[in-house]
Structure 1
Amino acid sequence: MEDQADNRSEVISENGSDQKQETREEMLSRHRKETSDLQNKEIALKKAAAKGSKAEQKAKKKQVDEEISQLSTKLKEKQAEELSSLGYSSTTDKQKGNLDNLVKAIAGVSVTNQTEQSKPRKSVKKREKRAQEEAAREQRIQEEQNNIVSDRMIENEKLEQKLEPLGYTINEIKPDGHCLYRAVEDQLALQSGGSSPYNFQELRQMVAAYMRNHVSEYLPFFLSENMADGESEDSLTERFENHCKEIESTAAWGGQLELGALTHCLKKPIMIFSGSFPDVEMGKEYKSGALNASIMLSYHKHAFGLGEHYNSVLPNSFQ
């Protein structure tokens, strides 16, 4: 019973009066959901701010950034306080000691009792060893969450400085793993003046079919990213086929290989703007004047803690 109690953390609610018992896994899961909810709120606020004159949009965007920054700071402080109940603290000078405490908390070992024993039991040492990797991982996640807001703001500022002189703005796309295909769908709808000829799921199926039909072109690039020592070509070919299946039937995130396939499927150039990397234009061979306008996307490395992200880039006149 003591081990079970030690493996739980006591979370104090914001009003300071109510208390409830919450396991470490439940706490970390809740933290991730809180972060995701804040990111969704940011998207909703930015969409609502993208109305009115250019000056009004700029003022609203600044208010949104300030509000999200304040909410993010409060959330990080609250989560850090809750994590401290597991023995974790982000203070740099005490990092090693705090990591040791977090290991003990994850392993279900009382930090106080441990210091009172001259020789820890073998079972305790074994549990601490098993917890070491997990503790380091949780600490890394927390540090990344602490950094992501500032990184995102810097990236967004650089991207805005790049797009504003061109008369472009960003249309936020839902961060659900389909963002690349949804952003392309949004661009196709813009170019058609109505609905897109293909929805995001159809675009996924087109990409998977194209890559299967041109396996000799895509397999070398796939191998360079996925090849492991001692792995046979047959097993890699099977993994490539599994990758194609994931493209067409799951929410697997799209990257450079899928972007290249999209240019050929649609026979359109694709321009990718970024605040973290140089801009990239793919499918230049399909440029043929105004009748074949480029699909314009923005790539965000620090958009969300859940992963990298793509948005659709629109002329200001369409906002």
Structure 2
Amino acid sequence: MEDADEKTHEEVISDEAVEKEQQTRDEILARHRKEISLLQKKEVEMKKAAAKGSKAEQKAKKKQVEEEISQLSGKLKEEHSKELAALGYSSGNGNEKNNLDTLVKAIAGVSVTSQPENTKSSKAKQRRDKKAQQEAEREQRIQAEQSNIVSDRMIENEKLEKKLKPLGLTVTEIKPDGHCLYRAVEDQLAILSGGRSPYTYQELRKMVAAYMRNHSSDFLPFFLSENLIEGDSDESPAQKFENYCKEVESTAVWGGQLELGALTHCLKKHIMIFSGSFPDVEMGKEYKSENGTGSYNLSIMLSYHKHAFGLGEHYNSVVPT
């Protein structure tokens, strides 16, 4: 029985080796690109996670992230180099620049088969080389943009924290799904009512759309200033505004100042929007509570984040600490 088991184990190992050998060059390079992309995504997520806490904590976390990513990157490069050696990439001839160029081309999907130096490059090869260079430059730009996003977010959060902390306030994260403004208001209404919000975020959307329709003369000029109307369009400005209202009530279109203006009147609430990137904004001052008593007149408090996510702007709920 033991011999049979050992034989079966050897057969499994042999099968795996054969299967690995049968991988095509394109499959290996495609896997390399995927692994590099996953590592880059992991780095961004780790940096985002590190952008929380005090300045000292963020600095310590950032250093840990850099060390871990450096180790993972080195290990991944070593593994890729071994596999690329079988595809024509060599790291032992002393010409580091040529080796690096070859590696970039290989990962970008360009042939790395050695060619005589005096062989004239074909136009097809030149195109492939150019494509490889463009891909490498694109990856560098993506990484730079991702780093900027993390950096801008950290700066914005620090400024907002300094603004809210003396007021005894903090931010409650809201799901970034396009409904963030309405979800944040729903969260605020739940707090003000001492339990469940009287309106869901879907109901708030419908209320906003209805109010904007009923008061179109108040909103249409601002809508037109924010949305370019094409001269050759068959739709009138009023029709475009109606289509926009339909989007507000039935899709995940992002809410902004127009919708905030409608919300403050729909709910008859004073709305305070804090920001780490811009001056704070008050809307519906006529509904502001003078004595601070009675949940009906208490303010809705939101935070506006320009750099929260790579996709764009975001709203969160602001609550007492």
Q: Which of the five TM-score ranges fits, normalised by the shorter chain? A: 0.5 to 0.7
Aligned-CA RMSD value: 4.2
Determine the structure 2 residue equivalent to 1:200. Answer: 201
Q: Is the 8 A contact 1:9 1:23 kept in 2?
A: yes
Determine the structure 2 residue equivalent to 1:308. Answer: 313
The aligned runs of 1:3-152 (5 Å cut-off) are 5=25, 9=29, 21=31, 28=37, 31-32=40-41, 35=44, 65=58, 69=62, 73=66, 108-110=109-111, 120-124=121-125, 138-152=139-153
Determine the structure 1 residue equivalent to 2:268. Answer: 267
Point out where structure 2 has 5 or more consecutive residues left out of the alignment.
1-23, 81-100
Counterpart secondary structure, 2:29: strand
Looking at structure 1, the residues matched to 286 and 116 of structure 2 have their Cα atoms a distance apart, in angstroms, of 69
The aligned runs of 1:154-303 (5 Å cut-off) are 154-227=155-228, 230-232=231-233, 234=235, 237-289=238-290, 290=292, 291-303=296-308
Counterpart secondary structure, 2:164: helix
Measured against aligned partners, the alpha-carbon deviations of 1:191-233 in whole angstroms (never above 9, x if no partner) come to 1111100011111121222223333333332333331664437
Calculate the TM-score normalised by the size of structure 2: 0.66
Q: More displaced, 219-228 or 167-176?
A: 219-228
Measured against aligned partners, the alpha-carbon deviations of 1:21-62 in whole angstroms (never above 9, x if no partner) come to 2555x86478558756985x789xx8xxxxxxxxxxxxx767
Q: Following TM superposition, by how much is the alpha carbon of 1:234 offset from its aligned partner in structure 2, in angstroms?
A: 1.8
Q: Is the 8 A contact 2:29 2:107 kept in 1?
A: no
Q: Is the 8 A contact 1:9 1:22 kept in 2?
A: yes
Q: More displaced, 227-236 or 108-117?
A: 108-117
Q: Following TM superposition, by how much is the alpha carbon of 1:66 offset from its aligned partner in structure 2, in angstroms?
A: 6.0
Calculate the TM-score normalised by the size of structure 1: 0.66
Measured against aligned partners, the alpha-carbon deviations of 1:57-108 in whole angstroms (never above 9, x if no partner) come to xxx76797467645754676589777998xxxxxxxxxxxxxx999967974
Q: More displaced, 217-226 or 70-79?
A: 70-79
Looking at structure 1, the residues matched to 116 and 241 of structure 2 have their Cα atoms a distance apart, in angstroms, of 52
Q: More displaced, 265-274 or 115-124?
A: 115-124
Which has the greater radius of gyration?
2
Counterpart secondary structure, 2:266: helix
Looking at structure 1, the residues matched to 67 and 137 of structure 2 have their Cα atoms a distance apart, in angstroms, of 24
Counterpart secondary structure, 1:303: strand
Looking at structure 1, the residues matched to 233 and 160 of structure 2 have their Cα atoms a distance apart, in angstroms, of 43
Looking at structure 1, the residues matched to 68 and 239 of structure 2 have their Cα atoms a distance apart, in angstroms, of 44
Q: Is the 8 A contact 2:174 2:317 kept in 1?
A: yes
Change in Cα spacing, 1:161 to 1:279, as seen in structure 2 (3 Å) is same
Aligned residues: 274
